[in-house]
Amino acid sequence: MALDADATLGEAGEFGLISQLVAQLGEALTDDEHVLVGPGDDAAVLRVKHGHVVVSTDLMVEGRHFRRDWASAEDVGHRAAAQNLSDINAMGGTARHLTIGLAAPADLPVQWALDFARGFAQECASVGATVVGGDTTRADEIVIAVTVLGECTVSPVLRSGARPGDVLALTGRQGWAAGGLAVLGRGFRSPRVLVEAYRRPEPPYAAGKEAAEAGATSLIDVSDGLLAEAAHLAEASGVAIDVRRDAFDVPEPLVAVGAALGADPMQFILGGGDDHALLATFPDTASVPAGWQVVGEVRDGEGVTVDGSEYDGPTGWTHF
């Protein structure tokens, strides 16, 4: 039974909401040969044909990761899916199935949840992934928990494989979402292209598997900040990484925001996250696939430097 568009979660009830969410998210399941049992039982049952199963979980908390006055429910759905799909991409894999946990206040409009589900399903469909289950409960604020399962048909690329002499390369937009967040934080809505980049990231979904097949030695997605993610690679691999500022072309919208805010636009590129670009190391320049940009190198030692020196600007998002 369809719910009134103006109903709240409290009025709809748990099972009324779930029935509508399943209808919103489950359309693609009929064409997914990997799903033996979908939503409606105690757990989903999936068929694994070959390769490695890769799994990741992420949380989004209202007021911490998103604000309803900055992004629509559909935007939040796209963002929640993208950050999880990107984690599988960053292993050199392909996302296949997801589950969602949604905790929300009883007075949240049902329409918000349905719009969220629509955006989530659209983002999943862009890589051929489907939602196979989830859960809902009541909370004082919106909390979204997503688990994604994928497969790697080649050996997964870890953070720990970088070696001295490797080159550091990047693919995907970088710094755009951070610029958009800075704009929103000042109460503005332009440049619109940056605000939209924050609301709906565009991860390079095909690039993870491409990097793995090209022989990437380590791989990570840029969710918290480029230098912060480079530090994760350096620590896991026991190496030092140097990033070159002159390797980046600063796009005009970031230049404009930097001028308006009195900030170096490079801080958005070096310290920004949420675009979900990919950062990888490769044995040499010749092995770097087309569409990737060499932005640094791996050396003996430890830590991350910029142009050979310690960087004193923001390196990325911290959760605590």
| Residue 135 marked ligand-binding | yes
The residue whose two tokens read 């599988």 is 88
Q: Look at residue 311 and give its three-state secondary structure.
A: coil
Check whether 78 is labelled as a binding-site residue. Answer: no
Residue 50 known to bind ligand = no
Is there a binding annotation on residue 87? yes
Any binding-site annotation on 159?
A: yes
State yes or no: 245 annotated in a binding site.
no
Q: Confirm or deny that 317 is annotated as ligand binding.
A: yes
Residue 205's closest CA among 148, 167, 161?
Answer: 148
Structure tokens at 289: 């696939």
The answer to whether the annotation marks 42 as part of a ligand binding site is: yes
Q: Which two tokens stand for residue 241?
A: 């990484």
Cα distance between the two ends of the chain: 43
Residue 173 · residue 82 · CB < 8 Å:
no
**C-alpha to C-alpha distance for 212 and 208, rounded to whole angstroms:** 6
213: left (phi over 0), alpha (psi -120 to 50) or beta: alpha
Q: Is 242 marked within a binding site?
A: no
Does 274 carry a binding-site annotation?
yes
Tokens read off for 53:
């199963």
- Cα 206 to its chain centre, rounded Å, is 14
> What CA–CA distance (Å, rounded) separates 156 from 208?
10
Known binding positions for Mg(2+): 42, 56-58, 87, 135, 221, 224
Which residues belong to the annotated binding site? 42, 56-58, 65, 87, 134-135, 159, 221, 223-224, 274, 317
Residue list for the binding site for ATP = 134-135, 159, 223
Binding-site sequence positions for substrate: 65, 274, 317
